[in-house]
Amino acid sequence: MGELKPQLLLSLREYSKQAFMKDLISGVIVAIIALPLSIALALASGVTPEQGLYTAIVAGFVISALGGSKVQIAGPTAAFATIVAGIVARNGMDGLAVATILAGILLVIMGLLRMGSMIKYIPYTITTGFTAGIAVTILIGQIKDFLGLTFQTSPVETVEKMEQVAACIYTLNPAALGIGCLALVILILWPRVFARIPASLIAVIVTAAAVKLFNLPVNTIGDLYTISGDIPTFHMPSITYGTVAAVLPDACTIAILAAIESLLSAVVADEMIGARHNSNMELIAQGAGNAASALFGGIPATGAIARTAANIKNGGTSPVAGMVHSVVLLLVLVLLMPYAALIPMPCIAAILFQVAYNMSGWRTVVSVIQHSPKSDTAVLITTFVLTVAFDLVVAIAVGLTLACLLFMKRMADVAVIKEWDYVEDTTDSQGRLKPVPPHVMVYEITGPMFFGAADKIPHMDRETEKTVLILRMRAVPALDITALNGLTRLWEECQRQGIDVVFSHVNQQPMSVFSKSGLLQRAGAENFQPNIDAALSRAVALQQTPVSK
């Protein structure tokens, strides 16, 4: 899977008319599902409705054409909603375009550097925490439209939105609340009866008809936005040093989040179809798709798990299904977009409520809190709270820092240095121990030796009649410069006291560090022995023929 070749080329080798018909049907169904979601997620992101469709059309087509997954469907997702809204509020649409293009470039570089497998190093507690946090921010952001409230200000931050909800609750619109509840009922109950027809599409049609027929005082998309049915057109944003500097942190967040979500979606798809995706090719496709989306008026995109699962369940077998989905959305944009003006805002809010609920993973959150160590729970809760109270950039930065510190502490706790008076007797068939010679000290080091564990390296500052120190390092997989300095200091202290130091069973990485640092040459290659028996033999030889100090 190391070859960077789009899955489309591999799929077309044995493509058939029957496979095309399956992809065609699945692509049309997925497009119907993606239509209301793309509009809703665009509005949640603070951009116009058609920009959500631009994203699904352009990014969806490019990512399917270039991607490393057979069945991945890409488009706007809820994970980006709060990030996009923040970027637009701070830096405008040009700032969003620049951030998305930079994120695309970063994703392509990640793919070319074969970093697809490195996403697994993002701790599960962090992904769970910020996913749940994003779900809460989306839910809070839709309370205004669901209740039909009239805000006194236009808040951007989640906490400010909550303050406005509390301050303006007296402006509640019963008609809007009724339409929102009707949409929720349809979204919840419809799949139990007619699973193959998307509930969100039915909710949109029914609530739009109700508002129109009964002339209800409920805001629709057309009341708040100017609807355009124009096809996506190329637009190069103004790229300046100031803009790049301002949006670079957001670009990094978009790239990381796009990589995580797309690869998680691809893994889920693999499990459903019994295949294996090319993660590096998928990252390159995600990068190209995001850059193209920004250049044609769209917003960030990534693999969408729900739409990907729908594609699989409806018979999609190749990337052609994703490309069909994009073409169908393009036709809808050109022919039917004016009708989107009739969609009530409470219905959009209800759709996003369901999206937030599905992505929250609250059962997973509860399970992690119940069964994980308190330190892991603290990382999850911290990431969650910071995502809601501030933004995803802060949450991921702090969450990763905490996770790294906890990991280092755990690794430091694993590292142990112990003195042995007896060692295994390899000549004894019963596995009995043999005493260490009287003139020898044997210290065994266990675990990775890095700066967090370096303070465990002992000092040779006591008077002793021992003349040889054996450092047994068979269980040391890695050594860093701080631990090296500690071992060098111990070796120098032993030299001052006339004690020879013998290293036993040094593994490859620590041996490389010793060699590059010069300690191997200073201590003498003859004092690096392959096992404890050879080290003890060396200690006896040193006692019989003392080395000049």
Q: Residue 497 sits in a domain of what CATH number?
A: 3.30.750.24
**Residue 51, in any domain of the structure:** yes
d(CA 522, CA 489): 13
Query: 78 pLDDT band (50/70/90 cuts)?
Result: confident
Mean pLDDT of the chain: 90
Q: Tell me 449's DSSP state.
A: B
Query: 483 pLDDT band (50/70/90 cuts)?
Result: very high
Residues 49 and 134 in one domain: yes
In percent, how much of the chain has pLDDT > 90? 56
* pLDDT score of 519: 94
* pLDDT score of 424: 81
Residues 182 and 308 in one domain: yes
Q: Which residues contact 515 (CB under 8 A, 6 or more apart)?
A: 521
In percent, how much of the chain has pLDDT > 70? 98
* pLDDT score of 546: 54
Closest to 3 (Cα-Cα) out of 279, 319, 318, 317: 279
* pLDDT score of 79: 82
Residues 313 and 443 in one domain: no
Domain hosting residue 333, numbered range? 21-362
Residues 175 and 101 in one domain: yes
- Taking the whole predicted model, whether its pTM rises above 0.85 is answered as no
* pLDDT score of 462: 65
Q: Is the confidence at residue 392, as pLDDT, over 60?
A: yes
**Residue 239, in any domain of the structure:** yes
Q: What is the mean pLDDT of residues 323-341?
A: 91
Query: 400 pLDDT band (50/70/90 cuts)?
Result: confident
Q: Is the confidence at residue 158, as pLDDT, over 50?
A: yes
Residues 300-324 as b/e (b if ≥16 CB within 10 A, e otherwise) read bbbbbbbbbbbbbebbbbbbbbbbb
For 227-281, what is each residue's pLDDT tens digit?
A: 788 889 999 998 999 999 999 999 999 998 899 889 888 887 887 888 888 999 9
**Phi-psi domain of 466 (left: phi exceeds 0; alpha: psi -120 through 50; beta: other):** beta
Instruction: Determine which of 123-127, 186-190, 435-439 has the lowest per-residue pLDDT on average.
Output: 123-127
How far, in Å, are 8, 25, 528, 542 from residue 19 at the CA level? 13, 10, 63, 76
- Domains held by the chain: number: 2
Domain boundary among 327, 346, 362: 362
* pLDDT score of 530: 93
Q: What is the mean pLDDT of residues 130-156?
A: 89
Instruction: Determine which of 64-73, 334-343, 520-529 has the lowest per-residue pLDDT on average.
Output: 334-343
Query: 81 pLDDT band (50/70/90 cuts)?
Result: confident
End-to-end Cα spacing for the chain: 56
Residues 431 and 338 in one domain: no
Residues 452 and 520 in one domain: yes
